[in-house]
Chains A and B, each alone.
Chain A
Amino acid sequence: NAGVTQTPKFQVLKTGQSMTLQCAQDMNHEYMSWYRQDPGMGLRLIHYSVGAGITDQGEVPNGYNVSRSTTEDFPLRLLSAAPSQTSVYFCASREDIGETQYFGPGTRLLVL
């Protein structure tokens, strides 16, 4: 099993550009989440999904969109990148609501 994979590992964007951060898991987990990690603030939840076709907002959803067409994939879209979105983004998955969450390796995003 590859676990949770994320691409790209690093990305530089200009303000106003859009892009999609990819996340995939091969563990057949229903629950998937996107977090951003900023210095001194731990991880904050952006969006999450409890299964294919079902998504909802987390703590900091503004400027991001998600969709979940398959169990395996949970892409995060930045609609119009802003410098405030410079961060490290983690995708995570878990089998059920009560289970341990496993993280991907992260995507480091720099918005100029």
Chain B
Amino acid sequence: AQKITQTQPGMFVQEKEAVTLDCTYDTSDPSYGLFWYKQPSSGEMIFLIYQGSYDQQNATEGRYSLNFQKARKSANLVISASQLGDSAMYFCAMREETYDNYGQNFVFGPGTRLSVLP
């Protein structure tokens, strides 16, 4: 079963507008972390934002915020005031606290390609 779902293969947004990238996850672990990474055309993976499952408030980092709805198992990324440089692939990832399987607890979704239009 897919643990991370990103239902939007591609998204378009007008420059300076806000955009929401969807992410839903599946876990039975009560303790987990959710991440968003950006991959521009140059190929590197850039960490954007993190949300812990026990965090009471939604995470924010500059123009990025994570809309965390625990009961719905969703962790959508909101980018405010989009810029041309935001055009990239965006990956949602989840880390589960499975200490008996240390390395395999970090899984990625298939990604969403965001294009910012001038």
A interface, CB within 8 angstroms of B = 31, 33, 35, 40-45, 48-50, 56, 58-59, 88, 90, 92, 97-98, 100-103, 105-106, 108
| Chain B residues within 8 Å of A103, by CB | 37, 44-45, 47
Alpha-carbon gap, A100 to B106, bound state (A): 10
Q: Report whether A98 and B33 are in contact in the complex, using a CB–CB cutoff of 8 Å.
A: yes
| Chain A residues within 8 Å of B108, by CB | 35, 42-44
Q: 6 nearest interchain CB pairs?
A: A48-B103, A103-B45, A42-B108, A43-B108, A42-B110, A50-B102
Distance from B86 Cβ to chain A, minimum over Cβ atoms (Å): 19
Distance from A7 Cβ to chain B, minimum over Cβ atoms (Å): 15
- Interface size in chain B (residues, C-beta < 8 A): 24
Instruction: Give the interface centre of B35, B45, B108 by most chain A CB atoms within 10 Å.
Output: B45
Q: Report whether B43 and A100 are in contact in the complex, using a CB–CB cutoff of 8 Å.
A: no
User: Which residues of B1-56 are within 8 A (CB) of A?
Assistant: 4, 33, 35, 37, 43-45, 47, 50
Distance from B9 Cβ to chain A, minimum over Cβ atoms (Å): 8
Tell me if B68 is interfacial: C-beta within 8 Å of chain A: no
A-B contact pairs, 7 of them (CB 8 A): A33-B106, A42-B91, A44-B108, A56-B103, A100-B47, A101-B95, A105-B43
Q: Report whether A45 and B106 are in contact in the complex, using a CB–CB cutoff of 8 Å.
A: yes
Distance from A94 Cβ to chain B, minimum over Cβ atoms (Å): 8
Q: Report whether B33 and A42 are in contact in the complex, using a CB–CB cutoff of 8 Å.
A: no
Alpha-carbon gap, A56 to B99, bound state (A): 14
Alpha-carbon gap, A44 to B3, bound state (A): 12
Q: Write the chain A residue with the least CB distance to B101.
A: A56
| Chain A residues within 8 Å of B109, by CB | 42
Q: Among B43, B50, B99, B111, point to the contact of A97 (Cβ < 8 A).
A: B99
Q: Report whether B45 and A90 are in contact in the complex, using a CB–CB cutoff of 8 Å.
A: yes
Tell me if B105 is interfacial: C-beta within 8 Å of chain A: yes
Q: Report whether B102 and A48 are in contact in the complex, using a CB–CB cutoff of 8 Å.
A: yes
Alpha-carbon gap, A44 to B4, bound state (A): 12
| Chain B residues within 8 Å of A100, by CB | 35, 47, 50
